[in-house]
Structure 1
Amino acid sequence: MTGTAQAPLLRMRGVGKSFLGVPVLRDVDLQVRAGEVHALVGENGAGKSTLMKILAGVHRADAGTVELGGARVDFDHPVRAREAGVATVFQEFNLLPERTVAENVFLGREPRGRGLRAGVDARAMEEETGRLLEELGLTALSPRTPVRALSVAEQQIVEVVKAMAQSARIITMDEPTAALAGAEVELLYRLVRRLQERGTAVLYVSHRLQEIFDLSDRITVLKDGALAGTVDTGATGHAELIRMMVGRPVSAVFPPKAEGTRTGGARLEVSGGGNRWLDGIDLRVRAGEIVGLAGLQGSGRTEVAHALFGIDRFTRGELRIDGERVAVRSPRRAVRSGLALVSEDRKTQGLALHRSVLDNGRLVLDAVMPLRSRERARRLPGLFSSLELVARSPAQEVRFLSGGNQQKVVLAKWLAADPSVVVLDEPTRGIDVGAKHAVYTLVRRLAAEGAAIVLISSELPEVIGLADRVLVLRDGRIAGELPGGAAEESVMELAVGAGPARAGGEADR
Structure 2
Amino acid sequence: MAGGPVLRMRGVFKSYRNRPVLRGMSLDLHAGQLVGIVGENGAGKSTLLRILAGDLTADSGVVERSGRLGCCPQETVLHQAFTVEQHLQFFQAAYGISRLSRAYELLEELNFSGYRYERVETLSGGTRQKLNLVLALMHDPQVLLLDEPYQGFDWETYLRFWDLAAALRDRGCAVLVVSHLAYDVSRLDILYRLDGGVLREAERTDTIAVAS
Superposition TM-score, scaled by structure 2 size = 0.81
Alignment pair present for 1:215 and 2:198:
no
Match of 2:8 in 1: 11
Structure 1 contact 12–28 (Cα < 8 Å) conserved: yes
Higher strand share: 2
1:7 CA drift (Å): 1.4
Q: 1:237 aligns with which of 196, 204, 209?
A: 204
> Does the 8 Å CA contact 1:40/1:204 hold for their aligned counterparts?
yes
Change (3 A) 1:131 1:61: closer
**Structure 2 residue ranges without an equivalent (≥5):** none
- Picking from 165, 170, 173, the partner of 1:200 is 173
State the one-letter code of the partner of 2:160: L
Give matches, 1:141-160, under 5 Å.
Answer: 141-142=113-114, 144-148=116-120, 149-160=122-133
Following TM superposition, by how much is the alpha carbon of 1:143 offset from its aligned partner in structure 2, in angstroms?
7.6
Q: 1:140 offset after TM fit, Å?
A: 6.0
Shift of 1:95: 1.7
Consecutive unaligned residues of structure 1, counting only runs of 5 or more, are 70-83, 112-123, 243-431, 437-509
Q: TM-score, normalised by structure 1?
A: 0.37
1:21 equivalenced with 2:14 (yes/no): no
Is the CA contact 1:173–1:203 (under 8 Å) kept in the aligned structure 2? yes
Q: Does structure 2 retain, via aligned residues, the 8 Å contact 1:153–1:187?
A: no
- Which SS does the other structure have where 1:24 is aligned? strand
SS of the aligned residue for 1:9 comes to strand
Where does residue 266 of structure 1 map in the other structure? none
2:92 is the counterpart of 1:106: no
Indicate if the aligned counterparts of 1:15 and 1:27 stay in contact, CA closer than 8 A.
yes
Contact 1:129 1:161 survives alignment (8 Å): no
Structure 1 residues 261-410: aligned runs within 5 Å = none
Distance, in Å, in 1 between the alignment partners of 2:73 and 2:41 is: 16
| 2:68 aligned residue | 85
Which residue matches 1:129?
A: 100
Q: Are the aligned partners of 1:45 and 1:225 in contact in 2 as well (CA < 8 Å)? A: no
1:97 and 1:146 in contact (8 A); partners too: no
Q: Which has the higher contact order (CA 8 A, sep 6+)?
A: 2
> Partners in 2 of 1:129 and 1:143 — Cα distance?
15
Cα 1:95/1:225, change in 2 over 3 Å: same
Identify the residue that residue 177 of structure 1 maps to in structure 2: 150
1:155–1:192 Cα change, 3 Å = farther
Cα-Cα RMSD: 3.0
Indicate which of 89, 111, 135 corresponds to 1:162.
Answer: 135
Counterparts in 2 of 1:166 and 1:238: CA distance versus 1, 3 Å: same
